[in-house]
Copies of this chain bind each other. A is one copy, B any other.
Amino acid sequence: MESTEHSGRQQTATERRRRELLEAAERIVLRDGPDASMNAIAAEAGITKPILYRHFGDKGGLYRALAVRHTDALLANLATALDAPVLRRDRVEATLDAYLLAIEARPQVYRFLMHPSDEDNAPESGFDVGRHSAPLLRRLGEELAKVITDRLDLGPGGELTARVWGHGIVGMMHGAGDWWLRERPCSREQLVTQLADLLWGQLAAVEDRVGGPGF
């Protein structure tokens, strides 16, 4: 079969198409929020639904493709913040800040990413839709756990500790970030400082209240 070059060209062509479709989808999600309909996305791309389904299988597939894109970008950002050769406290603050900056810049995308609507990912989907299809928060947690394992000396059983901390810290970022994004009770810098203080044991260090209004 001498169609290798042919199929190669086809490959790049379909991949270009795929990217175009994803960009259209992103525009619509950015406009309509997490419940953007397939019809709307297809219309934005100038085509009709069945093509979307040929490319992505189902709505979850399209969602996963979009999520992988942004998750990869966000992870790259966080990785550079996490690798900076500065004090540990500064690294933590830089990482928190990078995350908050990202969700602040594109709240719609962020909300879309955080609502995976679960549904197990089929073990395979014919294509390599990407092995990274795990929801964003789990990927973040695992990556952070890896960094913690690499950087800190946690002694025996340290891997488990690192994973617990990784997912715990990511959950903290997510929870606090979600609340902050809605209520905007303070500046980003303040939030970062307070969260880093929390991680630095201030909850344990601060004094009990002595003469409360209670009695």
Tell me, yes or no, whether A161 is within 8 Å of chain B by CB: yes
What's the least CB distance linking A171 to chain B, in Å? 2
Interface residues of A in 114-143 (CB under 8 A from B): 115, 117-118, 137-138, 141
> What are the residues of chain B within 8 A of A118 when measuring CB–CB?
34, 111, 115
Tell me, yes or no, whether A13 is within 8 Å of chain B by CB: no
Tell me, yes or no, whether A1 is within 8 Å of chain B by CB: no
Cβ contacts A163-205/B at 8 Å (1 or 0 each): 1110111111111101110000110001100110111111111
- A117 to B154 alpha-carbon distance, docked (Å): 39
Closest to A89 in B: B204
Contact of A170 among B175, B180, B199, B208 (CB under 8 A): B175
Binding site for B on A (CB under 8 A): 34, 88-89, 92, 111, 115, 117-118, 137-138, 141, 150-154, 160-161, 163-165, 167-176, 178-180, 185-186, 190-191, 194-195, 197-210, 212, 214
11 A/B residue pairs, CB under 8 Å, sorted by A? A150-B209, A150-B212, A151-B208, A151-B212, A160-B194, A161-B197, A163-B179, A167-B178, A167-B179, A168-B194, A171-B175
Q: Which 9 A-B pairs have the closest CB atoms?
A: A171-B175, A201-B201, A164-B194, A172-B172, A167-B179, A168-B176, A153-B209, A168-B172, A200-B204
